[in-house]
Structure 1
Amino acid sequence: MFVVSKVAIALMSPLGASLFGGLLALLLALVGRKRHAFWFGILALLWLWFWSLPAASNWVRGYLEDQHPPIAIQEVPQAEAIVVLGGGVSPAGHGDLYPNLESGSDRVWHAARLYHASKAPLVLLTGGSDPSHSAASEAEAMGQFMQDLGVPGQAMVLENRSRNTTQNAEYSAEILAEQGISRILLVTSAYHMPRAKGLFEAQDLEVIPVATDHEVLSRPLWRNLLPETSALDGSSRAIKEIVGRLVGR
């Protein structure tokens, strides 16, 4: 089921949809449907070009990020635990010495800020991994980073079974229930927060969203109209979140 969901997400992404459209155009051309092949090819190129524009990528990401703007640490209310979602730190592979920080590692850094500001006494790190490729879970990798940021090991609880956001919420809720905790600060990237918040609230938790890793920045207009691979990646991640939230509903 996990592999099927990954394939479905790849096909729904702008790159996957464009490649599928290009393949369909090629097949139509091979069977003599040249007119249809031409238009499918054009549509595939236009679709890829549009979502590669920073203007389009910022628009779709901004739709998600604007729902949870940045909050100053001093304005964040108290809670019983800080829950940090995986997706920002890649665990070390077999034979590697250290985990790798990804663009979403702001999640761990921001959670450390909250802990040091005494916003909650406990940090729950949630995220598993594929043991055939990783020497540790994502939660363990985040825990290593948090200790380097000064968070003591006894203040952390690891949930290392989950492989997606739905499981993050389900398995974290089980651990929190054992601890008698129902009010949490949820930390994840801003574009990911709307879907994550809904999934954790579905577990009967009182969720205070503390979004970080806001990606949409103001920039000169001319730069927004030139295709970029980073914009295509941002569009893909945002579309995945929107589709995932609709399917969850």
Structure 2
Amino acid sequence: MLKPGKADAIIVLGFVSKDGQIHPLLKERLDEAYKRFRQYGHQYIIVSGGAVGSRHSEAELMKKYLVEKGVPAESVLKEEKSRNTVQNLIYSKQLMEQYQLNSFMVITNLFHVRRTKYIMQRLGMKGGYCANRSLRSIVGFQLKLTFLEIRAFRLTLPIIERVMNDLAN
């Protein structure tokens, strides 16, 4: 885990939200983003995630949550096209370019950090990353999801290869 430091933007990666409900692991990410936004004075929070498990995009649900906590609506940028972690990062990077943002901190969960870091490296994205380390979350969710993450990592490799080929052409 890197030190948070200052960055222009925080990128919060989405997590499947069923029936418009924010999953506890996504809530953990959002609470961490809120804390860091207040603590470090980041310019924006980018919430990233399409409508994967719900009629509403994950980004829409995340923005609503953060605004209700007190983050100014204009400080929360929505990326609503992505359907996986690779797309979360690619489309968030495009949004950063649109808003002329240079530095970022990705917020995810502990089980997801390694794959996120790998994807960032492959995409040439230089930024920080962090995850909350609550015991409740680790015992309740993350141990099980760590094993699913291994499978997801294998599925990520062909997606990254396609992206890299598209970028090269």
- Relative to the length of structure 2, the TM-score reads 0.79
Q: Counterpart in 2 of 1:227? A: none
Partners of 1:199 and 1:173 in 2: CA distance: 13
Question: 2:10·2:45 contact (CA, 8 Å) conserved in 1?
Answer: yes
Q: Counterpart in 1 of 2:75? A: 155
Partners of 1:208 and 1:128 in 2: CA distance: 23
Structure number with greater Rg is 1
Q: Counterpart in 1 of 2:22? A: 101
Shift of 1:155: 0.3
The change in CA–CA distance for 1:165 and 1:216 in structure 2 (over 3 A counts) is same
Q: Does 2:93 align with 1:185?
A: no
Q: Counterpart in 2 of 1:242? A: 150
May I ask how many residue pairs the two structures share in their alignment? Answer: 154
Q: Counterpart in 1 of 2:6? A: 78
Structure 1 runs of 4+ off > 6 angstroms? none
Question: What is the CA deviation profile of residues 21-48 of structure 1, one whole-angstrom value per residue up to 9, with x for unaligned ones?
Answer: xxxxxxxxxxxxxxxxxxxxxxxxxxxx
Question: 2:4·2:129 contact (CA, 8 Å) conserved in 1?
Answer: no
Partners of 1:165 and 1:76 in 2: CA distance: 20
The change in CA–CA distance for 1:216 and 1:141 in structure 2 (over 3 A counts) is closer
Shift of 1:245: 2.9
Question: 2:7·2:103 contact (CA, 8 Å) conserved in 1?
Answer: yes
Question: What is the CA deviation profile of residues 101-125 of structure 1, one whole-angstrom value per residue up to 9, with x for unaligned ones?
Answer: 3221110011011111134111000
Partners of 1:140 and 1:213 in 2: CA distance: 25
Partners of 1:201 and 1:126 in 2: CA distance: 19
State the superposition RMSD in angstroms: 2.5
SS across alignment from 1:134: coil
Q: Which runs of 5+ in 2 are unaligned?
A: 161-169
Shift of 1:189: 0.6
Question: 1:109·1:149 contact (CA, 8 Å) conserved in 2?
Answer: no
Question: 1:182·1:205 contact (CA, 8 Å) conserved in 2?
Answer: no
Partners of 2:9 and 2:67 in 1: CA distance: 17
Identity of aligned residues (%): 23
SS across alignment from 1:123: strand
Q: Does 2:50 align with 1:122?
A: no
Question: 1:83·1:125 contact (CA, 8 Å) conserved in 2?
Answer: yes
Which range moves more in the overlay, 206-215 or 170-179?
206-215
SS across alignment from 1:161: coil
Q: Which runs of 5+ in 1 are unaligned?
A: 1-67, 94-98, 218-229
Shift of 1:138: 0.6
Partners of 2:133 and 2:69 in 1: CA distance: 17
SS across alignment from 2:127: strand
